[in-house]
Amino acid sequence: MIKVSSKKNKYTYNVYHLVKAFFPNEEIIQNVDEKQESLVALNLPGGSCFSIALEEVEAAAGDLSEMETEEAKEQAIKKELTRLLYRYLEQQTRTTLAWGTLTGVRPTKLAMTKLEQYESMTEAEAVRRTVGAFRDEFFVSEEKAQLACEIAVREKKLLSKLDYKDGFSLYVGIPFCPSVCSYCSFSSSPIAEWKDKVESYLFALLKEIRAIGKMSEGHRPDSVYIGGGTPTTLEAEQMDRLLKTITENFDLSNVLEFTVEAGRPDSITEEKLAVIRKYPVTRISINPQTMQQKTLDLVGRNHTVAQTKDAFYLARKLGFDNINMDLIAGLPGEDASDMEDTLRQVEEMHPDSLTVHALAIKRAARYGQEGRKQDLHSEISQMIMSAADCAKRIGLQPYYLYRQKNIAGNFENVGYAELDKAGIYNILIMEEKQTILAAGAGASTKILLKDPIRTDSGKEINLVRCENVKNIMEYIDRVDEMIERKGEWLWR
Ligand code: SF4
Sign for the CA dihedral angle at 130, 411, 12, 20 comes to: negative
Closest Cα to residue 440, out of 464, 470, 477, 420? 470
Q: Which of 263-267, 283-287, 453-457 has the highest mean pLDDT?
A: 283-287
Helix or strand (DSSP H, E) at 464 = strand 460-467
In a domain, 18, yes or no: yes
Which tens digits make up the pLDDT trace of 56-97? 988 888 877 777 788 888 888 999 999 999 999 999 999 888
Cα of 175 from ligand 1 centre, angstroms: 9
Cα of 187 from ligand 1 centre, angstroms: 8
Q: What percent of the chain has pLDDT over 70?
A: 95
Q: Are residues 140 and 172 in the same domain?
A: no
Determine whether the shortest distance from the Cβ of 264 to ligand 1 is under 6 A: yes
**Per-residue confidence at 374, pLDDT binned at 50, 70, 90?**
low
Q: Are residues 147 and 53 in the same domain?
A: no
Question: What are the start-end ranges of the H helices in 94-194?
Answer: 107-117, 123-138, 142-159, 191-194
**Per-residue confidence at 322, pLDDT binned at 50, 70, 90?**
very high
Cα of 288 from ligand 1 centre, angstroms: 11
Determine whether the shortest distance from the Cβ of 263 to ligand 1 is under 6 A: yes
Determine whether the shortest distance from the Cβ of 177 to ligand 1 is under 6 A: yes
Residue 300 CA: nearest ligand 1 atom is: 6
**Pairing, β 353-358 against β 412-417:** antiparallel
Determine whether the shortest distance from the Cβ of 181 to ligand 1 is under 6 A: yes
pLDDT of residue 410: 65
In a domain, 75, yes or no: yes
For atom 2 of ligand 1, which residue has the closest CA? 229
pTM score: 0.86
* Domain end position, chosen among 52, 75, 95: 95
Determine whether the shortest distance from the Cβ of 184 to ligand 1 is under 6 A: yes
Reduced to 3 states (helix: H, G, I; strand: E, B; else coil), residue 149 is helix
Q: What is the mean pLDDT of residues 311-322?
A: 98
Q: Are residues 190 and 148 in the same domain?
A: no
| Whole-angstrom distance, CA of residue 290 vs CA of residue 326 | 9
pLDDT of residue 360: 64
Number of domains forming the structure of the chain? 3
Q: Are residues 143 and 201 in the same domain?
A: no
pLDDT of residue 89: 94
**Per-residue confidence at 397, pLDDT binned at 50, 70, 90?**
very high
For atom 5 of ligand 1, which residue has the closest CA? 180
In a domain, 304, yes or no: no
Determine whether the shortest distance from the Cβ of 186 to ligand 1 is under 6 A: yes
In DSSP terms, which residues pair with 413 in a beta bridge? 402
Q: Are residues 120 and 191 in the same domain?
A: no
* C-alpha distance from residue 217 to each of 144, 439, 471 (Å): 42, 16, 29
DSSP letters spanning 338-395: HHHHHHHHHHHH--SEEEEEE--HHHHIIIIIGGGHHHHHHHHHHHHHHHHHHHHHHT
**Per-residue confidence at 366, pLDDT binned at 50, 70, 90?**
low
DSSP letters spanning 12-39: HHHHHHHHHHH-TTS-EEEEE-TT-SSS
Point out the least confidently predicted range of 239-248, 294-303, 342-351: 294-303
For atom 8 of ligand 1, which residue has the closest CA? 184
Q: Are residues 284 and 193 in the same domain?
A: yes
Reduced to 3 states (helix: H, G, I; strand: E, B; else coil), residue 325 is strand
| Whole-angstrom distance, CA of residue 258 vs CA of residue 251 | 13
Q: Are residues 14 and 72 in the same domain?
A: yes
Q: Are residues 91 and 107 in the same domain?
A: no
In a domain, 232, yes or no: yes
In a domain, 374, yes or no: no
Which tens digits make up the pLDDT trace of 402-430? 887 655 456 788 999 998 899 888 888 87
Q: Are residues 128 and 208 in the same domain?
A: no
Determine whether the shortest distance from the Cβ of 190 to ligand 1 is under 6 A: no
* Domain end position, chosen among 70, 95, 120: 95
Count CA atoms within 13 Å of residue 142 on its CB side. Answer: 1
Domain carrying residue 239: 161-260+279-288+429-492
Q: Are residues 124 and 231 in the same domain?
A: no
Q: What percent of the chain has pLDDT over 90?
A: 58
Determine whether the shortest distance from the Cβ of 188 to ligand 1 is under 6 A: yes
pLDDT of residue 203: 98
Q: What is the mean pLDDT of residues 354-365?
A: 72
Cβ-Cβ contacts under 8 Å for 223 (sequence gap 6 or more): 169, 170, 255, 256, 257, 258, 259, 424, 425, 428
Residue 180 CA: nearest ligand 1 atom is: 5
Would you give the distance in Å from CA 114 to the centre of its chain?
21
Single-letter code of the amino acid located at 43:
N
Are the C-beta atoms of 436 and 446 separated by less than 8 Å?
yes
Q: Are residues 3 and 53 in the same domain?
A: yes
Q: Are residues 38 and 105 in the same domain?
A: no
In a domain, 390, yes or no: no
In a domain, 344, yes or no: no
In a domain, 397, yes or no: no
Cα of 230 from ligand 1 centre, angstroms: 7
pLDDT above 70 for 296: yes
Are the C-beta atoms of 325 and 315 separated by less than 8 Å?
no
Determine whether the shortest distance from the Cβ of 180 to ligand 1 is under 6 A: yes
**Per-residue confidence at 24, pLDDT binned at 50, 70, 90?**
confident
pLDDT of residue 365: 47
Residue 263 CA: nearest ligand 1 atom is: 1
Which tens digits make up the pLDDT trace of 443-478? 999 998 888 888 777 778 888 899 999 999 999 999
pLDDT above 60 for 182: yes
Pocket test residue of 230, 234, 308 for ligand 1, highest count of atoms within 8 A of CB: 230
